[in-house]
Amino acid sequence: MPLVTEVVQRPVREVAIPDALGPAAQVLAELLEGGAVRALGESLRLSRKGGFTGVPLVAFVLAFLASTTERGVRPFIKAFKRPLQRVAAVAGCTRFPSSASVSRAFTGIDQATAERFADVALSMAVTPGLRELLTHPTALHRDSRGDSLCVLDIDPSVQAFRQRDLIAGEDFPAPDRVAPGVAGYTGHHRGEIRIRHVAVCAAGPGVWLGYRMSEDNQHLASLFTSAIRPALSVTSEAGIPLEQVLLRGDGEFGSAGVARAIVGLGVQLLVRISRYGLLDRPEVLETLRIATWEQVPAGAKRVREATDLGTVLLHPSAKSADAGEPGVSLRVVVCRRKVPSESDVHYGAWHDGYQMELFGTTLPADRWPARDVVALYGGRSAIENRFAQEDRELRLGRTFTYNAFGQAVFTALGLFLWNYRTCSGFREAPSSAVAPLSERVDLRVPDTHPSSLVTPPAPPQDLVDGPLLSPEQVEPQLLSPPEAAHGIEPAAAVWHAPVATEVGERDRSVLRRPAPADPFPGATDEDRTTATAILTRAFDTLANRPGWSLDDEHPQLRCPNGKRLFPFSVTAPGRGRPMPQVIIRTDVGACDGCPMRLECFASDKPNSYKQVARAISPEDAAFVAAFLNAHPPSRRLVQRTKTAGPPNRRTAPPRATEPLIQLPATSTPGPWECAAPTMTPADLRRRAVARYEAVRVEIRIGRAPRRPPSTTTRRRTWADREARWRHQTTVTLTLYVRPKSPIAKHSQPPKLAM
């Protein structure tokens, strides 16, 4: 279809389209000339008898997203039914589909089609200028030696759906739910089920390079790597080596299985890890005691300090889907900041007046010191802002279809339009100002803050926490020998702790210290006698049941299985409870394996406990509350024994005792300060949108020849299906520059970015 464009300085004629559709017509004209509309349409091949497919569907969605209206799909088509036919001609189509046709088409999209389409939509083939944008110096990070680093942010987002209550019963059929997704954590979104969007964004230029959508609880390692691989294909096509690509993610990517899968792709990795049990290890405390702390560059309200812990071998949790798989070796960076109290710690862990955070990375210490690793991770918040920006600019937060993969195609087209606007603004005015590197400043701080991290405690004889009784052998997967990968000499000093074996996530059902016989050590005989008298009055009926009894030595009851129930808390009067109550309970895990458990309470979860409440007088409640406040009862797990059983998939083979960490060798960073990108993608998109809004669009369509009726009965090819909706006449697109627009002040008229 011939498309003629011209720029005029004259009043608008009757063939002008509404201003809300002007940007859509210009974008479609540019994409048609560049071949992007055809490439996107061919990647969305839907087998529909006589229905719209390919180019008309892609062109309509782009017109809807590029318009400046706030309407939904159906009101959009209803409000602009006639002018949309002219916009369709600009895209080379006879007409756009109706709202019902759009709904039927996107309902039939499957996962393979959606993923194939997303890979094409975010590739260089359909976005001119993407290569130059990714490799521009203002879009890259710089390390302490001045070398560039392409940072990719990955962060899953949740789209939640609410399910209304339906009357259930034998007389009613099973509910037919139309919303996709499964039950799961929805964050601040209200809903009972969710689908997950996983997008990969280049941090510097702010363009999207990979996208996947999951409507079920897919294994995280396979889901994330599926979204990362297309992004790495784009960076590789741009000429960026894999070792100069960093993937930056939150704590969801810090699990050993996911981290191992990402490192296996050959890229660098920076994630937050939640293995705060490391801070209780004697060898870690010793390492932090002799470490040199550096102040993190400005960017936080309070001063933060960072240091290198060393290379740590992380193992999958025994309860995770990756249990028994190889671990991964990561360089762990510790960050701390002084906080007034534990209530001020909203993330990380509180440790003796400090908020502690742990980060895992594969970046070398001589190029990215600890303080710069923490500052680099802090830049990850930019992707959260871009999620909000895409909702404001393209309305991608709304639900377009209840088919999850049809929704994915809508989202992929929105991300493509975002990339196209960014590249269009960059081509119009490429940035040439590259900030010079500044000399590195020494930010080492003397250890003037007394902390328990300074003096490591001696390892206890019988550990209270952690799966240390049955160590497991897991061979780590290394990209290269650890000496070369992390700058550690083969004979580097390693601090061997007596019990340095397991670094996996804690298993709460393992052996711990037995509960003491006296739940209230230090209590006087008088207080014990008074507390026992109160329990006798409150639980007299229960104590007289067969098998139940009051303890002769301590204020507690005994169940028929011999387990103790001791006072644990006091509740105030409330709704339906006119009197205060005293609550007695067993130790955590005391009921595991009890033969009478099913007759006692219904829960079958491990580490559960029996709890009984009785009303008492306000005077007795005041005494018990003061008694418990002065002598808080023990909450430790009781002694449990492990029985040998058949091996299973989630049990790793035994492992010999090995060092927990390898101390980093002394390394000298480069002479420069690590630098962040200076490109502002929002200004690039704003410049592109302003260029579209500065003109008024006229569309004139020539007379189309009459098509002969089709008499063939053979099966139609993809080309035959596309030809049915292809426009066969000349379309003239006229751009009228508004007299008061910013573009009218310049000497050159606006040009279509072909």
What are 611's strand-pairing partners? Answer: 585
Cα–Cα distance between 72 and 78 in angstroms, integer? 10
Please check whether residue 550 is in contact with residue 531, taking contact to mean a CB–CB distance below 8 angstroms. no
Instruction: Please enumerate, as own/partner, the contacts of 335-343 that have beta carbons within 8 Å and a separation of 24 or more.
Output: 335/296, 335/304, 335/305, 335/306, 335/359, 335/370, 335/374, 336/293, 336/304, 336/305, 336/306, 337/300, 337/302, 337/303, 337/304, 337/305, 338/302, 338/303, 338/449, 339/302
CA angle 377, 379, 383 (to 5 degrees): 110
**pLDDT at position 494:** 33
Of 418, 385, 361, 322, residue with least CA distance to 157: 385
Backbone angles phi, psi at 611, to 5 degrees: -135, 135
Tell me the pTM: 0.70
DSSP per residue, 345-398: --SSEEETTEEEEEEEE-S-TTTS-HHHHHHHHHGGGHHHHHHHHHHHHH-TTS
Residue 477 is which amino acid?
Q
* 8-state DSSP, 477: B
Q: How many CB atoms lie within 10 A of CB 688?
A: 22
Residue 222 is which amino acid?
S
Q: Could you tell me whether strands 564-571 and 581-585 are parallel, antiparallel, or unpaired per DSSP bridges?
A: antiparallel
DSSP per residue, 81-141: HHHHHHHHHHTTBS-PPPHHHHHHHHHT--HHHHHHHHHHHTSTTSSTTHHHHHH-GGGSE
* 559 burial type by CB count under 10 A (0-12 exposed, 13-18 middle, 19+ buried): buried
**pLDDT at position 238:** 93
**pLDDT at position 148:** 94
Please check whether residue 186 is in contact with residue 163, taking contact to mean a CB–CB distance below 8 angstroms. no
Tokens 């406990």 belong to which residue?
Answer: 609
Measured in residues, the chain has a length of 754
Buried b / exposed e along 330-366 (16+ C-beta atoms within 10 A): bbbbbbbbebeeeeebeebbebebbbbbbbbbbbbbb
**pLDDT at position 299:** 61
What are 384's strand-pairing partners? Answer: none
The segments of the chain whose pLDDT lies below 70 read 1-15, 48-51, 299-301, 318-319, 432, 447-517, 575-576, 602, 634-661, 663-666, 703-716, 718, 720-721, 723-725, 727-729, 733, 737-754
